[in-house]
Structure 1
Amino acid sequence: MKIYITAGTFDFLTKIANKYPDEMMVTMVNENGALLLHETKGKSKFNVPRKYEVLESVGDIQKESFAVMNHIPVTDEGRPVFEHQCKIQVQKTANVQGLRALRLLSPISSTTYVILTVWENEAYYQRWQNSDLFIKAGTGLDAQQTIFASAPYVSKYSITK
């Protein structure tokens, strides 16, 4: 399974999604703009997408949700350790209340992994952020600083209808 992501204006991305009603596509927006996410076993419908292989998958990405993307640049040497630790955390996180979907995305042409979580709403995400499970997950990766190529960052989105 692959995930392709492209950016653009909300109206433009909505037109692309409407052009392919049989494909699993969701439009996500935040204060900085809009993204269109396409999950498929086939080829991308986008001209210049960011490309990811789905390493772990939990649940279904649903419209009218709250999405969080953790972007984590990982060194080539650190990839096996990072993937192993993340796969363990995915299993521990799979049944968190309010979580609709989770994807561990391996970059096809960059060094930045994405951990995508999709929540019923932002309140569930914030509750999870304050949980022991979340805190313990972060400390496991912090101990391996040498696997990171640069500082990770988070982006948050609303998934539209």
Structure 2
Amino acid sequence: MNLYTTSGTPEFMEKIKEKHSGENMVLLHGAGNSLLLHETEGKTVFQTPKRYEVIGASGQLAKHGYYIVNNIPVTDEGRPIFEHRFQNRANMVDGQPGFLTFRLLRPVKDDTYRVVTAWESKDHYELWKGSQAFKGAHERKEQTPPAEKVQNIFSAASYITEYETEKPEDEKL
């Protein structure tokens, strides 16, 4: 399974989504732009997409909700280590109140993995962040090895982007 993304103005992204209404797409609105997700076994309809392989999934792409995208730049050498660590944590979010969707996305042409989760609301996401399950998913399980054995698998700092499926009120006018 592949997941493709493209971004632009809310109006343009909406036109693409409407034109391809038979495709599995979700339109997300964030700070300053909109992001259109297209999940498919085949090719995308986007002209200039970012392409990801879905290597972990739970739930369907939620048509309505609050989305969190954790952007994690990983070195080429660090990819197997990162993926192994995530495979051991992937289902820790399942069953949490308000949880809808999880996708672990391997980048095809860059170094930034994306961890996508969808929640019924921002409040549900905040509850998850304060839960024991969250702490368990984010703690380091292994003992810290000596400094000379530590491999930095990250090529830059990670960052989170937040989206909603509904346009903010000031953009609806």
What residue ranges of structure 2 are gaps of 5+ in the alignment? 145-149, 168-173
- Asked if residue 11 in structure 1 is aligned to residue 17 in structure 2, the reply is no
Give, as a single letter, the amino acid of the residue that structure 2 aligns with 1:134.
F
TM-score with structure 1 length normalisation?
Answer: 0.94
Comparing 83-92 and 62-71, the one that deviates more: 83-92
Deviates more, 1:85-94 or 1:43-52: 85-94
Could you report, residue by residue, the CA deviation over 1:37-91 in whole angstroms, capped at 9, with x for unpaired residues?
1011110111111110000110011222000000000111111111111112112
Q: Distance in 2 between matches of 1:20 and 1:2?
A: 17
| TM-score, normalising length: structure 2 | 0.87
Separation (CA, whole Å) in 2 of partners of 1:31 and 1:81: 32
- Distance across 1 between alignment mates of 2:4 and 2:133: 29
Runs of 4+ in 1 over 3 A off after TM superposition: 141-145
Give the total of aligned pairs: 161
Counterparts of 1:137 and 1:97, CA distance in 2: 16
Uncovered stretches (5+) of structure 1, i.e. residues with no partner: none
> SS of the counterpart of 2:86?
helix
1:140 equivalent to 2:146? Answer no
In our comparison, the structure showing a higher alpha carbon Rg is 2
- 5 Å matches for 1:1-161? 1-140=1-140, 146-160=152-166
Identity across the alignment (%): 39
Match of 2:147 in 1: none
Q: Alpha carbons of 1:126 and 1:16: their partners in 2 closer, same or farther (altered >3 Å)?
A: same
**What letter is aligned with 2:166?**
T
Two-structure CA RMSD over aligned residues (Å)? 1.8
Conservation of the 8 A alpha-carbon contact between 1:58 and 1:94: yes
